[in-house]
Chain A
C-alpha cells in the first residue's frame, strides 16, 4: 500500500538573516500510513514544525523527496488540512465565515458553503455561535473553529502544529478527546507535532522521536493502546506508563543536548 506521507532523506536548510546557513532537518526519513495518527516529539528547535511545512508544500525541501500519496509535493496540494500553533482563524470573519472559507475557495456557492459550515460548526460544538467574531470567543472555542475550518475540506492528511499548547489543561483534555472522535469518523492521516509526550502517546498510533537540531528521526514507537481512548484516563494505565518510560529515556537525552546548547548559547 502506498503510504499517505513519505519523506526520504529530507534535508532542509534556511538562510539566517546574518547570511549563514541553518540546517533545520538532516537526512530525515519518515512514513505515515493512510488513516494513521502519528505524533512527532522532540526538543525545542529540532525542526518539528519544519516537517509539517514540507509536507504541506508551504516550504520546499533542500534535498530529498517528500511524497504525499505517492506523488512528489510541489506547492500546496489539495486534501491537506493544517491547524497552526498560533491563532490563524481570520479575525474579520465570523465563525460561519471562517468555517465556510475553505468550500468557498474551492468554488462552492455561498449558500452551499454556509450550509456545510453550519453542519461542521455544530459538530465541533459551536452551534449558536455562528455570528460571533473570533475576539468574542475563548481560546478553546477558537481552536474548535480552526478544527472545523480544516476538517470541512475533508482533508486526507491533517497536519497539527502544537494546536493545544496554549490551552489550559482541562480544555486541552476535552479538545484532545474531541479531536480523536472527529478523526475516527474520518479516514485522515494525522501528523501531530507536540512537545508534550503524554499528549503524543495518548493520541497516537505511532510516535516519532526527533533528535536535537538538525533534526532527524531517532526512533519510532508503536502505541498499542486500545481505541477508543479516553485521554483523561488512559494515562493511568500500566501499559501507558511503560510506553512513556521507554520513550522518555530516549527523548531525555535529546532534550538534555538541546538544553546544554541553549545554555552555552546564552553564556
Chain B
C-alpha cells in the first residue's frame, strides 16, 4: 500500500520538480529509507510467525498445550503436505479448493450485484425506501447463516445452495453501503451536473454511482470474507466436497490437525482474494487521493 502510494505521488509531482542534484539525492535517500522500512516490516512479520508457531509447537511438545484438542504446527503442516501430495479423503486437494472458491465467488458476485442494484434504486427512490425499509432491517436482524439450512433443504446438496447462502450474507452488507453511498452524494455535485445538462440517467450513471463507489468498494472487503463464511457454512449443512466439508469430516474423526489445516487453507484463500479486491478497488477509485502517510520529505 505505502509503496504504491509513494509511486503514485512521485508520478504526479515529477514534471514540476526540477531535476537538480539535491533533489535526486533526497529521492535516493528517501528510497533507501523506504527500503529499510520494508525490510523491518518483513522481519517483524517473520518474527511474529516464529514466536506464535514456535511457542505453539514447543507448548504442545512439553505438554502445556493438549495436542489432542489443539494439535500442533508440525502435524498441521504434515496434514497439509499429505493433502497436497496424496489428496484428501474427498479427492484431490485442488478440487476442494476450487469448489469452495466457485461457491464463494459465485455468492460474492450474485450478492454484490443485487446489493448494488437494490441500494441504488432504493437510495434514489425515497418512497420505495420508506416502504421496504422495515422489512429489510428486519431481514438483516435475523442471524442470516440459518438460511443456509433452508437452502440445503430446498436447493439440495449442490453448488446452488452454497451460492445462495453466500449471496444472502453479501447482499445486506453491500446493499446498506450502496444505499448510504447514494444518500451521501454531495448535493453541489448533483446541482452542478443538472446545470450542465445531465438528465436522470446520466445523473445516476455519472454522478450517483461513481460517488457511491467508494462506499461500495469499502464493503467489498468485508463481503468477500462473508461470502467465504457463507460457502463454508453451506458446506457444513451438507455437501460432498469443498474445504468446509473437509473440515467437517476432520472434526468427525477428531482430527484437529485436519480442522486447522482447513482453516489455514481458508486463510490463504482469503488473503489472495483480499489482494485481488484491493487491486480492483485501486482500479475503480483511481481518482481518490493516495493515503500519503509514509511519504514525507
- A56, B196: Cα distance in complex, Å: 11
Within 8 A of B (CB), among A38-95: 56, 58, 76, 78, 80-82, 84, 86-94
Q: Is A105 positioned at the interface, with any CB of B under 8 Å from its CB?
A: yes
> Is B289 a contact partner of A102 (Cβ separation < 8 A)?
no
Within 8 A of A (CB), among B209-240: 210-211, 213
> Is A88 a contact partner of B12 (Cβ separation < 8 A)?
no
> Is A135 a contact partner of B195 (Cβ separation < 8 A)?
no
CB distance from A250 to the nearest CB of B (A): 31
- A149, B199: Cα distance in complex, Å: 17
Within 8 A of A (CB), among B85-136: none
Closest to A75 in B: B194
Q: Is A163 positioned at the interface, with any CB of B under 8 Å from its CB?
A: no
Chain A interfacial residues counted at CB < 8 A: 29
Q: Which residues does chain A contribute within 8 Å of B196, judged by CB atoms? A: 101-102, 105, 149-150, 153
Contact flag A136-B191 (CB < 8 Å), given A101-B196, A105-B198, A105-B202 = no
- A67, B140: Cα distance in complex, Å: 51
Q: Is A133 positioned at the interface, with any CB of B under 8 Å from its CB?
A: yes
- A135, B286: Cα distance in complex, Å: 11
Contact flag A101-B195 (CB < 8 Å), given A88-B188, A133-B286 = no
Q: Is A111 positioned at the interface, with any CB of B under 8 Å from its CB?
A: no
CB distance from A80 to the nearest CB of B (A): 6
> Is A58 a contact partner of B202 (Cβ separation < 8 A)?
no
Bits for A108-151, please: 1 = Cβ < 8 Å to B, else 0: 00000000000000000000000011111000000000000110
- A106, B202: Cα distance in complex, Å: 11
Of the residues B188, B197, B211, B287, contact of A102 by C-beta under 8 Å: B197
> Is B188 a contact partner of A92 (Cβ separation < 8 A)?
no
Chain B interfacial residues counted at CB < 8 A: 24
- A84, B187: Cα distance in complex, Å: 11
Q: Is B189 positioned at the interface, with any CB of A under 8 Å from its CB?
A: yes
Q: Which residues does chain B contribute within 8 Å of A82, judged by CB atoms? A: 191-192, 195
Contact flag A105-B189 (CB < 8 Å), given A92-B287, A93-B287, A133-B287 = no
- A102, B192: Cα distance in complex, Å: 10
> Is A135 a contact partner of B197 (Cβ separation < 8 A)?
no
Contact flag A92-B211 (CB < 8 Å), given A133-B287, A135-B287 = yes
> Is B287 a contact partner of A101 (Cβ separation < 8 A)?
no
Q: Is B157 positioned at the interface, with any CB of A under 8 Å from its CB?
A: no
> Is A88 a contact partner of B189 (Cβ separation < 8 A)?
yes
Q: Is B193 positioned at the interface, with any CB of A under 8 Å from its CB?
A: yes
Of the residues A80, A86, A149, A153, contact of B188 by C-beta under 8 Å: A86
Of the residues A81, A86, A101, A133, contact of B206 by C-beta under 8 Å: A101
- A136, B130: Cα distance in complex, Å: 39
Q: Which residues does chain A contribute within 8 Å of B186, judged by CB atoms? A: 88
Closest to B203 in A: A105
Closest to A135 in B: B289
> Is B207 a contact partner of A136 (Cβ separation < 8 A)?
no
Within 8 A of A (CB), among B222-275: none
Q: Which residues does chain B contribute within 8 Å of A153, judged by CB atoms? A: 196-197
Q: Which residues does chain A contribute within 8 Å of B195, judged by CB atoms? A: 56, 58, 76, 80-82, 150
> Is A105 a contact partner of B199 (Cβ separation < 8 A)?
yes
Contact flag A106-B207 (CB < 8 Å), given A134-B287, A136-B12 = no
- A48, B214: Cα distance in complex, Å: 34
> Is B194 a contact partner of A58 (Cβ separation < 8 A)?
yes
- A92, B205: Cα distance in complex, Å: 12
Q: Which residues does chain B contribute within 8 Å of A150, judged by CB atoms? A: 195-196
Q: Which residues does chain B contribute within 8 Å of A105, judged by CB atoms? A: 193, 196-199, 202
CB distance from B116 to the nearest CB of A (A): 16
> Is B207 a contact partner of A90 (Cβ separation < 8 A)?
yes
Q: Which of A56, A101, A153 has the most CB of B within 10 A?
A: A101
Q: Is B288 positioned at the interface, with any CB of A under 8 Å from its CB?
A: yes
A-B contact pairs, 11 of them (CB 8 A): A76-B195, A78-B197, A81-B195, A86-B188, A88-B186, A90-B189, A90-B207, A92-B211, A132-B12, A135-B289, A150-B195
Which 9 pairs between the two chains have the least Cβ-Cβ distance?
A105-B197, A88-B192, A135-B289, A92-B210, A92-B287, A133-B287, A102-B196, A88-B188, A82-B195
Given A93-B287, A101-B206, 14 more pairs with CB closer than 8 A:
A56-B195, A76-B194, A82-B191, A88-B191, A88-B192, A90-B192, A90-B206, A92-B213, A101-B193, A105-B193, A105-B199, A136-B12, A150-B195, A153-B196
